[in-house]
Amino acid sequence: MAGKAARIAGLRAQDLRAGIAKGALRVEEVAEALIARVAETEPGLSAWAWFDPDFVRSQARALDAHRAAGRPLGALHGLPVGVKDVIDTARIPTENGTVIDAGRIPAEDAFVVSRLKAAGAIVFGKTRTTELAFLAPGPTRNPANPAHTPGGSSSGSAAAVASGQVPLALGTQTAGSVIRPAAFCGTVGFKPSFGAIPRTGVLAQAPSLDTIGVFARSVPDAALLAEVLFGDDPRDASTTPTPPPRLFELASAPPPVAPVFALVQPPGWERAEEETRLALAEVAGLLGEQCFEVALPGAFAEGSAARECIQLAELSKCFYGYERRGRAQLSTEMQGALDRGKAIPARDYIAALDWRRILNAALEEVFARCDAILVPAAPGPAPEGLGTTGDPVFNGLWTLCGTPAVTIPVLEASNGLPMGLQLVGRRGDDGRLLRSARWLMEHLRGDDSGQGDLR
């Protein structure tokens, strides 16, 4: 790539937005720089399920004309955003990672895509997902090392942001599908509180768990994108009318006092690699009195089983149509999940739904003493090989609780691969979590640029 195009491709979303607003950058320049970046990196990455450079250019020209006419600029004016291919886009293929939906073109945009367009964002393309956003890996490679998994199911979104193809992207999480790929690829991944972002027009896998999340190069960038998407939609019963959030303002502002963190060894801790354990201990040591260790109540040991019960039971219902239309075209992982879900007694499923309330009540005592919980984002760096998307053991508990979670790329494994540090906040307190995450990223790295590492 030429010098200026390479510099543009390396900018954070907030810097691109500022340059466009001041007239130092044209949206068409940004679009061309990123189109060139895709051409350079995509053959070895396979982050995109659908990408049309001319479609990107037409949006960019329209946005430049909008600004030239002196019209008001939206919060995301000119910013390219990758959209996971389980999120409906009008007149653009949305194939949900399965051959059963090959050629599917929705008539309407999902709620979040409508919000992107209203805010002036460019729908840059559709990022690859695993099959029906579950476990069977897709063709995407990890930009940090193509011999290692990029994670899943939001693999394309994480890889596209990490490789500089796009500054922002959307994903979804039902167990660990935002946090884990962000950690493996070395980006910021933010899963908001359950119900904060409407899921209308998004593939439903397990509606009691499904959450839309975002990928970015910095915490404020993630907040900027998420703020546009937060809202209420009567078509999604998980949402409620709430005042507009101030996520970007909160994430960008210094905290009134230095935040305090609770270091937790979550259920499944024995699956954490030694390198991960040592890294968490080092972070706690650097934080000193701002970090204390706490043990979660014994009830949390039941969380993983409850989350899996809910996911499989609801998946078997939501994906019944796929099974009926083409079970033989589904992966063995998906066929097994459908069979396990159908075998779950109604009594066990209904009982599992109670665990969110129980566990969040227990977390109140922890959050009374801290701003955020510190836990690993994954057992270690991205595993070698492409036959798995990695272990979501340290993600699913927080998806069940519906608490906001964010991973920041401040750790590096001995093999050079990124490792994410996950922070968890009280449900509904997303802005405070993001502010604490930005503070910690700056504290450990000296900035929030996504450069450097903590060894």
For residue 334, being part of any structural domain is answered with yes
Question: For residue 332, what are the domain limits?
Answer: 303-353
Helix (H) or strand (E) holding 445: helix 430-445
Q: How far is CA 435 from CA 191, 248, 376, 407, 440, in A?
A: 14, 9, 19, 13, 9
> And the tokens for 135?
């476990």
Which among 154, 155, 163, 177 is annotated as catalytic? 177
384 in a domain, yes or no? no
DSSP state letter for 212: E
- The CA-atom distances, in angstroms, between 450 and each of 92, 232, 255, 298 are 32, 32, 20, 36
| pLDDT < 70: residue spans in the chain | 1, 447-455
| Residue 339 within any structural domain of the chain | yes
238 is catalytic: no
Q: What is the pLDDT of residues 261-288, one digit of tens each?
A: 999 999 999 999 999 999 999 999 999 9
Q: Which helix (DSSP H) or strand (DSSP E) does residue 181 occupy? A: helix 179-185
Q: Strand locations in 131-268, DSSP E? A: 168-173, 188-191, 211-216, 261-264
Cβ atoms of 311 and 206 within 8 Å: the answer is: yes
State phi, psi for 78 to the nearest 5 degrees.
Answer: 80, 0
Structure tokens that stand for 355 in this block: 């665990």
Phi, then psi, of 132 in degrees rounded to 5: 50, 35
Give the total residue count for the chain.
Answer: 455
Q: Could you please report the per-residue DSSP string of 325-389?
A: HHGGGS-HHHHHHHHHHHTS-HHHHHHHHTHHHHHHHHHHHHHTT-SEEEEESSSSSPPBBSS--
What DSSP assignment string belongs to 378-437?
A: SSSSPPBBSS-----TTTHHHHHHT--EEEEEEEE-TTS-EEEEEEE--TT-HHHHHHHH
Structure tokens at 449: 């640029």
Active site residue 84: yes
Total domain count for the chain?
A: 1
Whether residue 91 is contained in a domain is answered as no
Residue range 36-71, pLDDT digits in tens:
999 999 999 999 999 999 999 999 999 999 999 999
| Burial class of 360 by CB neighbour count within 10 A (0 to 12, 13 to 18, 19+) | middle
Buried b (16+ CB within 10 A) or exposed e, 286-295: ebeebbeeee
Instruction: Tell me the C-alpha distance between 32 and 109, whole Å.
Output: 25
Residue 275: DSSP 8-state: H
**Position 312 in a domain:** yes
Instruction: Give the residue among 110, 140, 331 at the shortest CA–CA distance from 210.
Output: 110
- Whose CA is closest to 17, among 80, 84, 69, 71? 80
pTM for the model: 0.97
Active site residue 117: no
Predicted pLDDT of residue 1? 64
Q: In 186-218, which residue ranges form alpha helices assigned H by DSSP?
A: none
What's the chain's Rg over C-alpha atoms? Answer: 21
132 lies in a domain? no
* 3-class state of residue 141 by DSSP: coil
> In this structure, is residue 318 part of a structural domain?
yes
Q: What is the largest CA-CA distance in the chain?
A: 62
SS3 state at 263: strand
Give the list of residues 6+ apart from residue 18 with CB closer than 8 angstroms, or none.
Answer: none
Q: How many CA atoms lie within 13 A of 131 on its CB side?
A: 20
Contact 178, 215 (CB under 8 A): yes
DSSP letter string over 56-115?
Answer: HHHHHHHHHHHHHTTPPPPTTTT-EEEEETTB-BTTB---TTSGGGTT---SS--HHHHH
Q: CA-CA distance, 53 to 63, in Å (whole number)?
A: 15
Query: Considering the domain boundaries, does residue 51 fall inside one?
Result: no
pLDDT attached to residue 445: 85
Q: Which of 153, 157, 304, 436 is catalytic?
A: 153
Q: What is the pLDDT of residue 2?
A: 72
Q: In this structure, are residues 224 and 198 in contact, taking their beta carbons and an 8 Å threshold?
A: no
Strand order in the sheet with 48-50: 48-50, 122-127, 80-84, 168-173, 211-216, 188-191, 405-412, 418-424, 372-376, 261-264, 291-294
